Amino acid sequence: MSTVSTVLDELYHGHRAVQSYKDVETVTGLFSDLLVHEMNIPEYADDEDLSVLDIACGTGAATASLYAALPRQKWDTTKVLATDISQPFLEFIKERGAREGWKAMETKSAEGANVDAPAASFSHILLNFGIMFMGPSLLPTCLSLLRPGGAIGITTWHVLPWHDQVSRAASLLSPSPKVLTQQELLKTYHFKEGQFEDPAYMKRILEEAGFVDVRSEVRECTTVTTNEVVARTLGIPLKLIGNEWEEDTRQQVRELVLQGLAEKFGEEGPAKLKWVGVVTVGRKAG
Ligand SMILES: C[S@@+](CC[C@H](N)C(=O)[O-])C[C@H]1O[C@@H](n2cnc3c(N)ncnc32)[C@H](O)[C@@H]1O
């Protein structure tokens, strides 16, 4: 049995980190697309200079959403600082930026919001599926890093991906392996204390940190994916949900999940999957 942090460490820092996370990004990117629009970034870019901080940038889902939402002629003047603690991700996003033409993007290794920038440096802060690793204590720093009137956007999971499919498949085995409930799992998976899956909680922590005009709501996204990507992506939740199972049991559950998807969507797919997150936005007064 590996600990949750070992599983996530492998996911974020291991030699296959970038490849396995690129699959995850096909989902997290849908939520960062929503975030960028909820924050009205394209409209803001019409008359003000953008300077965006992407905290816990990973392979660049939120930065990619940002540039995709802007007209090409704005790209060279749109500054982005993409930060993370994972070196493989930072190297990847740097190369990705060079390839994509994100000329004004810089990267920096940073823990949480400790990005070593002067106060009021940024017009926007993006934190796409990252706050659960850092906890709400980074929010006051985010507030000070924003210009007056600047905005923050945060996404979290409302329902843990794959939990339904994995627990249904596990229940078909005899004896059935123990499946942690969503709540139990969220508690383990959220390294920091907090109900990040709850929009009321998200709204409260932002308001307590001093943000205004805070809105938080549950949003759904759907992916239409090949069965191959589904099979690859399943490895991570299986390790988290079935952390205490024998490898053999994990394999059996994996086969049953894939079988269930094949019955529902056909052997060739594509699988149409629903993901449920929480999208929270707030503003610094001014
Ligand atoms: C679920 S991924 C999200 C990545 C990306 N924002 C996305 O939406 O695809 C979480 C990211 O948080 C980073 N991370 C975890 N703990 C961190 C910390 N304390 N400070 C900065 N980044 C952290 C991980 O390296 C990983 O890239």
Ligand 1 nearest atom to the CA of residue 32, by list position: 8
Is the pLDDT reported for residue 137 higher than 80?
Answer: yes
- Residue 7 confidence (pLDDT): 64
Ligand 1 contact, 89 CB (< 6 A): yes
Hey, which residues does 70 pair with through a beta bridge? none
Q: How far apart are CA 20 and CA 11, in angstroms?
A: 7
CA of 177 to the centre of ligand 1 (A): 30
Q: Is the CB of 153 under 6 A from ligand 1?
A: no
Q: What spacing in Å lies between the alpha carbon of 58 and ligand 1's midpoint? A: 5
- 61 contacts: CB under 8 Å, gap ≥ 6: 25, 28, 29, 32, 128
Using CA atoms, how far apart are residues 253 and 117, in angstroms rounded to an integer?
Answer: 47
The yes-or-no verdict on residue 14 having pLDDT over 70 is: no
Edge-first strand listing for the sheet containing 51-55? 105-109, 79-84, 51-55, 122-128, 146-157, 271-283, 212-225
Contact 54, 113 (CB under 8 A): no
pLDDT at 117 over 60: yes
Q: Which protein residue's CA is at the shortest distance from atom 5 of ligand 1? A: 58
Largest Cα–Cα distance in the chain? 62
Q: Ligand 1 mean position to 205 CA, how many Å? A: 19
Ligand 1 mutation pick, 27, 84, 114, 191, max ligand atoms within 8 A of CB: 84
Q: What is the pLDDT of residue 211?
A: 98
Q: What is the pLDDT of residue 240?
A: 83
Ligand 1 in contact with 88 (CB < 6 A)? no
Q: What is the pLDDT of residue 169?
A: 94
CA distance 277 to 31: 8
Q: Give me the helix-helix angle, 4-13 and 87-100, nearest 10°.
A: 30
- How confident is the model over 54-67, as a mean pLDDT? 96
Tell me the mean pLDDT in the region 233-255: 88
More confident residue, 188 or 59: 59
Q: Which two tokens stand for residue 246?
A: 């024998």
Task: State if residue 111 touches ligand 1 by the CB under 6 angstroms criterion.
Answer: yes
* Residue-level pLDDT at 68: 96
- 56 CB near ligand 1 (under 6 Å): yes
Q: Quick one: pLDDT at residue 10?
A: 65
For 4-159+191-222+275-283, CATH gives 3.40.50.150
Nearest CA to ligand 1 atom 11: 56
Taking the centre of ligand 1 as the mean of its atom positions, its distance from the CA of residue 164, in whole angstroms, is 24
Task: Enumerate the domain spans of the chain.
Answer: 4-159+191-222+275-283
pLDDT of 121 > 60? The answer is yes
Q: Is 70 exceeded by the pLDDT of residue 180?
A: yes
